Structure 1
Amino acid sequence: MLIFMINFIAKLSRWCWYHILPGQCMWCNLPLATPVSQLCDYCQQALPTLSYQQCHYNLLWLPAVARGLKDAKFDRLLCLAHYQQPYQHWIPRWKYEADLAAGQLLQQQLCLLLARAKSNNMQMPQALTYVPLHWRKQHQRGFNQAQLLAEALGQQLQIPVIGLFRKSASHSQRGLNRRQRLRNLRRSFILKVTEAALPRHIALIDDVITTGATANALTRLLRRAGVHTVSVWTLAVTPAPGYSV
């Protein structure tokens, strides 16, 4: 009875707070109809998307995506959209400016996509892992956005999230071309020693996939450890050269 009353009071407080100071849509700034959402219904429907049904929720089967990810070593790819507006605004806001509202919005959107994919019988992994940050960079930033994404998805799917990798110091991948990214990634990652055998299917979480160099490097490590299927889940994928969005 006490727990029921506490939950009732909490819900009533949120309802009152929302109607006194309603939240704003993070795209159009109009008042929100529901307090738990970050976008109004119109902006939610207007978000850019990809042809998930056409590729059975594996974007590597879409030519416009596959052209930019040559020699992908992983098996599956799923993300919200091409790296374009409004994601091109929200992702850096969260990643470099610690905008927690933008981070919550992006986590919500990826969770919604995974819920749709699961309802369409997309094969789910047995565990999630994420692209690590070097400890100095994580200390400066205060968080690892890939880890927060993985934890949100793991909670929704009720599967474990395991930190499998360590990252040595290296230059940022931002602004580098494919050849420079590959050179920068040599010996950058180390697979942590685990006591138990890894599951056959693991999903690797990151914020943006550009050339696939990081995902390929981590996929190689996972395969050497006995992982059979590697899915990559990200917020956005950079359009292939010559492809406009």
Structure 2
Amino acid sequence: MLMSKLSRLLQPVLSCSLCQSDRATQSSVCQDCWQQLPWLKQHIHRQEMQIQVAAYYQYPLDRMIQQFKYEQQLHYLPLFNHMLSQLKFPKVQAIVPMPISQQRLIERGYNQALLLAEHLAKRLNVPIWQPILRQDQQHQKGLNRLERLSNIEQQFVIQAPSKVRYRRVLIVDDVITTGSSIQALHSKLQQLGCQQIHAVCLASPKN
């Protein structure tokens, strides 16, 4: 009993990432802030696809994702992982993180979708599969909608043929807006023989 109390006293006091109170949980936010996150926990429709989304891309989550994505604020990762863990996932054979271009990888130092995917892969006990490369984005100024979609589709390229193939996969991304990137990746995965392609995202803006 004494050792148990001592152990709790010696544990570092964690401050909530949002309100700075000393009541943070293992997800780096306190219970009050956790409940006030802009939860969605539903499927949305984009590009004729059903995509499961944890929350709306609204304050304070939008700011946190931006800092995580562009400012190397990786301390938000446990929170994002815990948010995704609130969703129910279909039975899949592999996790496919949304690829980013080499240019983006150099700028950021990591693929944010891959970091999210790694946690889900461990939770679902399936491998990470990255059969698609993404080329640098071309300028889209002056292009109409169909030209923009075609431009995005051309960014995704299948890597050299591999003996490893999966029929049921889960695409993971951080934020979805139009869904054009997921649709382009979906199309390439179909070319590789995937028959059931699901998708999950951390956040999406309200329509």
- TM-score normalized by structure 1? 0.73
CA offsets 1:33-68 (integer angstroms, 9 cap, x no match): 54x23111111122222264xxxxxx13xxxxx3xx
Q: Name the residue aligned to 2:128.
A: 161
Q: Name the residue aligned to 1:148.
A: 115
Give 3-state SS (helix, strand or coil) of 2:86's partner.
helix
Q: Name the residue aligned to 2:75.
A: 101
Per the TM alignment, residue 165 of structure 1 is displaced from its structure 2 partner at its CA by: 1.1
Give 3-state SS (helix, strand or coil) of 2:110's partner.
coil
Per the TM alignment, residue 113 of structure 1 is displaced from its structure 2 partner at its CA by: 1.6
Give 3-state SS (helix, strand or coil) of 2:39's partner.
coil
2:202 matched to 1:228? no
Q: Name the residue aligned to 1:113.
A: 86
Alpha carbon RMSD of aligned pairs, Å?
A: 2.6
* Match among 23, 30, 35 for residue 32 of structure 1: 23
Per the TM alignment, residue 212 of structure 1 is displaced from its structure 2 partner at its CA by: 0.7
CA contact (8 A) 1:91 1:103 kept: no
CA contact (8 A) 1:178 1:213 kept: no
Q: Which has the higher strand share?
A: 2
Judged with a 3 Å threshold, the aligned counterparts in structure 2 of structure 1 residues 28 and 179 are, in CA distance, closer, same or farther, namely farther
Letter in 2 for 1:91: I
Judged with a 3 Å threshold, the aligned counterparts in structure 2 of structure 1 residues 181 and 26 are, in CA distance, closer, same or farther, namely farther
Structure 1, unaligned runs of 5 or more: 1-7, 53-58, 61-65, 241-245
CA contact (8 A) 2:133 2:157 kept: yes
Letter in 2 for 1:47: L
Letter in 2 for 1:198: R
Q: How many angstroms apart in 1 are the aligned matches of 2:136 and 2:41? A: 37
- TM-score normalized by structure 2? 0.85
CA contact (8 A) 2:132 2:158 kept: yes
Q: Name the residue aligned to 1:41.
A: 31
* Number of corresponding residues: 201
Per the TM alignment, residue 109 of structure 1 is displaced from its structure 2 partner at its CA by: 1.6
Structure 2, unaligned runs of 5 or more: none
CA contact (8 A) 1:178 1:211 kept: no
Q: Which has the higher helix share?
A: 1
Q: Name the residue aligned to 2:184.
A: 217
Matches within 5 A, 1:186-225: 186-225=153-192
Per the TM alignment, residue 179 of structure 1 is displaced from its structure 2 partner at its CA by: 5.1
